[in-house]
Structure 1
Amino acid sequence: MNIQTTEDGYHYHVMRRALDEIDAGGNLTLDELAARMDMSPAHFQRLFSAWVGVSPKRYQQYLTLGHAKALLAERFTTLETSLATGLSGSGRLHDLFLRWEAMSPGDFAKGGGGLTIYWGWFESPFGPALVMGTKRGICGIGFAAETTAEATMEDLTARWPKADYVEDPMMLRPWVLTAFGAGEGALERAPLFLIGAPFQIKVWEALLAIPSGHVTTYSEIAGAIGHPKAVRAVGTAVGRNPISWLIPCHRALRKSGALGGYHWGLPVKRALLAWESAREDTRADA
């Protein structure tokens, strides 16, 4: 597996180990966490600051299981309002300069037949990421930190079984850099090409309206797309979102504040929410 590396990818692996230690050992001091990472406290502190911009002690608060409930109480987004005011107002389209278009239902029914999909492995802030795209934009992002590279590849290719797959990370690299916050300028774009059934695309469009650092519920999504009783179907569509991170399915929680499921592993979902929350708080404090 040839992975395009980034420093943030290395940081994620350190943070993933730290998350395991926090789960196992409760509230740990900087010295205790650094020792378990086989690092000096100063080096470990620098990694934290470079990755998320807050202290290890504060970051532990974001990694706790109770953080999701706090988000639901404090940063709940009413999707009907967000959708009514337009996606470009506050969601991912604004935050990451995204633009998107969807495959027609007829073409989707062909299972990717006649479509060329380019793919490559990249290090992301959340571990190894398999990115796929057509000439029109990114169509898939899967994370392998909690699974395996083989399982991630099999998962994404099975969604469009009749497509032709070509390894070409350099073709995707400019979009990937923009997607993970390393684009070279404000004019960079990370175009998305949504390949899904019409109902799925409606759900994914609603997810795009959730601002960074905020969350919503599956029932809220169902109401926003005009199908308030279709909560289970919405949950299935959220789980089938092929473009992780950019279409932020990790921001969908259960009404109880529980994380719910996550296709690429709950530790990744927790890291995504923690990273976004800490970044948003850092911006607010600036």
Structure 2
Amino acid sequence: MDEAICWRAVVENDRRFDGLFFTCVKTTKIFCKPSCPAKTPKRENVLFVSDTETAMGKGFRACLRCKPTEITGVNEKTKIAVEACEYINANRRADLNELGKSLGLSSGHLQRVFKSVIGVSPRKYLEFIKLKRFKDGVSGGKEVLEAMYDAGFESTSRLYENANQKIGMTPGRYKEGGRNLVISYSITKCSLGNLLVAATSKGICAVKIGDSPEELSAELGREFVNAEIRVEGALIKHFVDAIVELIEGNEVGLELPIDVKATAFQMRVWDELRKIPFGETITYAELARRIGNEKSVRAVAAACAKNNVAVVVPCHRVIGSDGGLRGYRWGIERKQQLLENEKADIALERKLFT
């Protein structure tokens, strides 16, 4: 089973996955149901197994709190989605029509069930898995064409189309660890502190806010360790000016291009974030509903926290169900200031034009 999906279920305490896999915690030697209410362990300390016998055979004992050995059934819709994921992962040339037939479902029914559980359509998931196979192949030393065909891509055009959307660089460049990627960046002052904006030739790849210019540039270097990074304010001045305007609460009236790396789920969340109108907020629960998975509130919050382009992807516009601001990667005070700036601009506009 896809470990990324397993981990998301654990983070969300998603009881729909109970009985379909079990979580073994290496530090405590205990195994649990995905919905166990105990504190979420660190990811590096977790091993996933398909049944209780395997867990006990590896020396783990059952959790006394969630009682994983007492499960009597499984959620049928989730079971179908898991079986579909296993089919896609096991078949290099996965055919979604054949997948539906093998599960005894129409393509429309499979689409609805899969998306309600996984959060993306079967086709989007297949694209993500193929791209992951390709990335693993070239990282492991395969030539681009060999990795492409092994991953299930039928042509270089399909590969490059997916790579440009999901990797943020060409397959050849990815094979070289981004060594020839050129990133221009600039650091300027704004009302929130120091603002770093970085961009490739395709779009903005990083927007960071902090107290120290040195720490911001060092963080950029760690994230793009093999890229050629240049301080070139003039080349990206139009991006910097637009982002400063957004920070100060002025709607710029255009969608800035981004060039970021993300999982299929993260990209889905970020796409939805960019649809939130200027000056408005929604809750994490509402954001989860908008992407078609009401149970994915925690995973949605985690995707917001991974956002590397502050303000451009406006994760600051997502708040708790009680109206609380919750967390923000760049500091809760900055989140509050951003929202206040946007609301002030909307209020001024209404005063002037009504």
Same fold, judged at TM 0.5 (above): yes
**Aligned residue number for residue 6 of structure 1:** none
CA distance in 1, matches of 2:230, 2:305: 26
Comparing both chains, which one has the higher relative contact order based on Cα–Cα distances under 8 Å and sequence gaps of 6 or more?
1
Change (3 A) 1:102 1:280: farther
* 1:28-70 deviation line (CA, Å, top 9, x unaligned): xxxxxxxxxxxxxxxxxxxxxxxxxxxxxxxxxxxxxxxxxxx
Change (3 A) 1:149 1:187: closer
Q: Offset at 1:279?
A: 0.8
Matches within 5 A, 1:1-286: 103-106=164-167, 110=174, 112-145=178-211, 148-181=212-245, 190-286=256-352
Q: Offset at 1:166?
A: 1.7
CA distance in 2, matches of 1:236, 1:193: 20
CA distance in 1, matches of 2:235, 2:208: 18
Q: Offset at 1:201?
A: 1.2
Between the two proteins, the alignment pairs up a number of residues equal to 181
Whether the 8 Å CA contact 2:168–2:260 is kept in 1: the answer is no
Change (3 A) 1:134 1:106: closer
* 1:188-230 deviation line (CA, Å, top 9, x unaligned): 8743223322211111111111111110111211121122212
Q: Which amino acid aligns with 2:165?
A: S
CA distance in 1, matches of 2:179, 2:237: 25
Q: Which amino acid aligns with 1:205?
A: D
TM-score, structure 2 as length reference: 0.46
CA distance in 1, matches of 2:180, 2:265: 23
Change (3 A) 1:103 1:158: farther
Q: Which amino acid aligns with 2:323?
A: G
CA distance in 2, matches of 1:141, 1:277: 22
Change (3 A) 1:125 1:195: farther
Q: Offset at 1:181?
A: 3.0
Q: Offset at 1:271?
A: 0.8
Change (3 A) 1:106 1:138: closer
TM-score, structure 1 as length reference: 0.56
Q: Percent identity?
A: 29
Aligned with 1:171: secondary structure? Answer: coil
Q: Which amino acid aligns with 2:281?
A: V
Whichever of the two has the greater Rg, that structure is 2
Change (3 A) 1:192 1:281: same
Q: Which amino acid aligns with 1:266?
A: I
* 1:93-150 deviation line (CA, Å, top 9, x unaligned): xxxxxxxx994335579464542211110223432101100011111111114xx333
Whether the 8 Å CA contact 2:187–2:213 is kept in 1: the answer is no
Change (3 A) 1:270 1:173: same
Change (3 A) 1:276 1:216: same
Whether the 8 Å CA contact 1:217–1:252 is kept in 2: the answer is yes
Tell me, which stretches of 5 or more residues in structure 2 are unaligned? 1-161, 247-251
CA distance in 1, matches of 2:261, 2:214: 22
Q: Which amino acid aligns with 2:207?
A: I
* 1:242-268 deviation line (CA, Å, top 9, x unaligned): 111121111111112111111111111
Tell me, which stretches of 5 or more residues in structure 1 are unaligned? 1-100
Change (3 A) 1:176 1:279: same
CA distance in 1, matches of 2:315, 2:164: 20
Aligned with 2:257: secondary structure? Answer: strand
